[in-house]
Amino acid sequence: MPRITPTLKRRETNAEIIHFPADLSPLLKRLYANRGLSNIAELQLGLQALPNPKQLSGIDAAAKLLSESVREQQNVLVVGDFDADGATSCALAIRALKMMGLSANYLVPNRFEYGYGLSPEIVAVAAEGSDQWPKPDVIITVDNGISSIAGAKAAADCGIKLVITDHHLQGDELPVAAAIVNPNLHGDDFPSKCLAGVGVIFYVMLALRAELREAGWFEQQGIAVPNLAELLDLVALGSVADLVPLDHCNRVLIEQGLRRIRAGRCVPGIRALLEVAKRDYSRVVASDMGFAVGPRLNAAGRLDDMSLGIECLLTDSEDVAGEHAAELDSLNRERREVEAGMQTEAMQAVERILLKDSKDMPAALCLFDETWHPGVVGLVAGRTKDAIHRPVIAFAPECDKMLKGSARSIPGLHIRDALAAIDAQIPGLLGKFGGHAMAAGLSLDRKHLPRLQIALAEYVEKHLAEEHRNAVLMTDGELTLEDIQLDNAEELRTAGPWGQAFPEPVFDGQFEVLTVRQLRDNHVKFTLGEKGRSELADAIYFRFSGEVPQVGDRVKVAYRLDVNQFKGRRFPQLLLEYLERVG
């Protein structure tokens, strides 16, 4: 299987000239400086460090309209999205409104019937009403809506007021709505442009609470003023799962949510999902949200209906949450099987493209197979992109004529902007599209696939700077064998939260292989050390695809320092991400 070998490069920052607290360990000073932190304020992760909600444009209009809806007990319908961010956003909105005295309902489009967002078809379903909801007076979109021009018009035609909350980039035209709250609107002054959809609706609910408090609503109704911080477990899960950059605002939101989960103060659904993933809620970190909980929640939207995931997050029953979590875990196992087959086919397609070596590969790839599942193409695009260090769009059939695509990019290339430029250059080539710098979704007439492949490769060739064309694995330098100890591993686990744009520390170094043992699924365990030294380092490389070194070989490795817990014993372990023999 073709795979680009990254070049190791060390981050270079002088932590000595930055004013961190004197009692902060030298290791953390170095790591924080390497991630661009420069003062004590950026280390403060209390709620008081959050930006003021009023800095979000449109939030006052949204709060006033929703305050009226609560006070008049109007019918409110939340229209969500079918990923983890959409599910947590939906659950948060329903829970927050209930805390403020309004029973709202939700509708999440089935991706296989209606596609993404507030489409006219979904508005028609909403307006018709059902056993689950009456015709809404107000629709709130969460994690979608900024590109729903036709859907917004359909809502207006039905006499439904529309509040859009979203975080995706706006296009040339905005939908017409009673209020739009999105930190990425042109001219918006909110200091964080990285909020996930669940972060945006959390801020809207903060503004709504303030509006209702000012109107005397809680006092009149004999309702305790709700503590919305209780919902930060949902914000943490949705934000990490959506891979938003962890700027200061998001680190505060995620850290506060993780603290509540560790204290057992989370919705039963999150705790149940952690349990089926065999994770200890009391020791949870951001990566558990991203690699254990998020994928199980996402599996519902990828293969079935995200309503199952939302119900898991909405129930207050431990037993019901456990049943939902078990079903989601089963769906996730099915998703992994589907993805594995698609990934094999994708890499075989890449091998067919290669002529001699990776230099012959196009600057970007469009991959398609008639048998692929539209709910899993994003994962395939991401894993293929990681393997070959090229922007990748993976497509699956949507209907006889159209394809559904999911794009993943590499540092230095804004994939949504690339699609917008191609759309402007070749009108009519693309169907609907939208997204972020690193990920986007689109629809495409299948007859246009060859033309898109050429146009995308040409755009990337022209716009991707030379320094971004080769895969680079950034490290934080070396740790000595004396530094590879349990205390440091424990400190690193809780020193985050680590994530997108605030990466978990990776170190590099050279060691001698003292023992080696091959496990199932191409996992390889090592004991690393130095001749004549008593200190040893336990290490493991998951899914290693290279030639396994032998005892006595000297190797250069890049690794994360983690804590391994086995049979009641806790010890430091190196999680290898790069390995090469050096002698």
Residue 551 class from Cβ within 10 Å (0-12 exposed, 13-18 middle, 19+ buried)? exposed
pLDDT at 518 over 60: yes
Cα separation, 429 vs 393, whole angstroms: 15
What global pTM score does this model have?
0.90
In a domain, 529, yes or no: yes
Establish if 202 belongs to a structural domain: yes
- At residue 490 the predicted structure's pLDDT band, cuts being 50, 70 and 90, is very high
pLDDT of residue 4: 76
In a domain, 241, yes or no: yes
Tell me the mean pLDDT in the region 288-306. Answer: 89
Both 431 and 307 in one domain: the answer is no
Say what the pLDDT of residue 339 is.
86
- Segment 136-147 mean pLDDT: 96
Helix (H) or strand (E) holding 134: none
- The pairs formed by 539-542 with CB atoms below 8 angstroms and a separation of 24 or more are 539/573, 539/574, 539/575, 539/576, 540/573, 540/574, 540/575, 540/576, 541/576, 541/579, 542/575
Confidence of residue 302 (pLDDT cuts 50, 70, 90): confident
SS3 for 531? coil
Q: What does the alpha-carbon distance between residue 340 and residue 334 come to, in Å, rounded to a whole number? A: 10
Give yes or no: residues 63 and 102 share one domain.
yes
In the block, which residue shows the tokens 């969500």?
80
Which pLDDT tens digit goes with each residue over 16-49? 778 888 889 999 999 999 999 988 889 999 999 9
Which of 53, 57, 56, 97 has its CA nearest to residue 77? 97
Q: Are 581 and 552 in contact (CB under 8 A)?
A: no
Kindly list the distances between the CA atom of residue 23 and the CA atoms of 14, 28, 175, 299, in Å, as whole numbers in the listed order: 18, 10, 51, 43
Residue 260 has pLDDT above 50, yes or no: yes
330-356 pLDDT, tens digit each: 999 998 898 889 888 888 888 776 644
Distance CA 357, CA 3 (A): 10
pLDDT score at 300:
87
Domain span at residue 368 reads: 354-468
> What does the H/E/C string look like for 37-69?
CCCHHHHCCCHHHCCCHHHCCCHHHHHHHHHHH
pLDDT in tens, 310-334: 999 999 999 999 999 999 999 999 9
> Band of the pLDDT at 110, cuts 50, 70, 90?
confident
Residue 447 and residue 466 in contact, taking contact as beta carbons nearer than 8 Å: no
Q: Looking at residue 477, which CATH number applies to its domain?
A: 2.40.50.460
Considering 271, 296, 331, which residue would you say is the last residue of a domain?
A: 331
| Confidence check: pLDDT of 2 > 70 | no
Phi and psi (nearest 5°) for 537?
-130, 120
70: DSSP letter: H
Chosen domain end from 427, 453, 468: 468
Confidence of residue 91 (pLDDT cuts 50, 70, 90): very high
> Average pLDDT, stretch 402-415?
94
Residue 342 lies in a domain: no
CATH code (residue 241): 3.90.1640.30
Compute the average pLDDT of residues 129-149. 93
- Residues 53 and 551: their CA atoms lie apart, in Å, by 58
Q: What is the pLDDT of residue 356?
A: 43
Do residues 383 and 525 both lie within one domain? no
Look at residue 179 and tell me whether its pLDDT is greater than 70.
Answer: yes
Mean pLDDT of 498-517: 95
CA dist 65 and 102 (Å) reads 14
Q: Output the pLDDT for position 301.
A: 82
Residue 534: HSE in the Cβ half-sphere, 13 Å Cα cutoff: 0
| Whole-number average pLDDT of the chain | 92
Same domain for 452 and 481, yes or no, is no
pLDDT above 90 for 233? yes
Q: What is the CATH number of the domain that holds 380?
A: 3.10.310.30
Give the span between the Cα atoms of 174 and 151, in whole angstroms.
12
Chosen domain end from 439, 468, 497:
468
- Let me know whether 460 and 484 are in one domain: no
**Where does the pLDDT of residue 93 fall: very low under 50, low under 70, confident under 90, or very high at 90 and above?**
very high
Return the residue matching tokens 């943490």. Answer: 236
Question: What span, in angstroms and rounded, lies between the C-alpha atoms of 78 and 144?
Answer: 11
Pseudo-torsion of CA 343, 349, 351, 357, nearest 10°?
-110
CA–CA distance, 180 with 166 (Å, rounded to integer): 8
Q: How confident is the model at residue 112 (pLDDT cuts 50, 70, 90)?
A: low
Do 458 and 485 lie in a common domain?
no
Mean pLDDT on 221-241 = 97
357 has a pLDDT exceeding 80:
no
Judge whether 79 lies within some domain.
yes
In tens, the pLDDT along 428-452 reads 999 988 888 888 889 999 999 999 9
Token output for 103: 């029973």
User: Residue 546 pLDDT > 50, yes or no?
Assistant: yes
Side by side, the strands of the sheet bearing 105-107 are: 105-107, 76-79, 138-142, 161-165, 179-181
Q: Is the pLDDT of residue 372 over 50?
A: yes
| Local structure of 467: helix, strand or coil | helix
| Torsion angle, alpha carbons of 378, 379, 383, 385, to 10 | 10
Domain count, the chain: 3
Q: What mean pLDDT comes out for the span 209-223?
A: 97
397 and 365 assigned to the same domain: yes
CA distance 288 to 277: 9
- pLDDT above 80 (res 309): yes
How far is the CA of 252 from the CAs of 29, 50, 82, 561, in angstroms?
Answer: 19, 7, 25, 23
Express as a percent the part of the chain with pLDDT over 70.
Answer: 97
Answer yes or no: are the C-beta atoms of 250 and 227 closer than 8 Å: no
User: Residue 408's closest CA among 373, 449, 436?
Assistant: 436
8 A C-beta contact, residue 403 and residue 449? yes
Helix (H) / strand (E) element for 266: namely none
pLDDT for residue 130 is more than 90: no
Same domain for 365 and 426, yes or no, is yes
Looking at the fold, whether 288 and 371 belong to one and the same domain comes out as no
Question: What pLDDT sits at residue 1?
Answer: 47
Are both 77 and 213 inside the same structural domain?
yes
Q: In this structure, are 119 and 181 located in the same domain?
A: yes
> What integer pLDDT is reported at residue 44 of this predicted model?
93
What confidence tier does 145 reach under pLDDT thresholds 50, 70, 90? Answer: very high
Q: Report whether the peptide linkage leading into residue 497 is cis, meaning its omega lies within 30 degrees of zero.
A: yes
* Domain shared by 288 and 429, yes or no: no
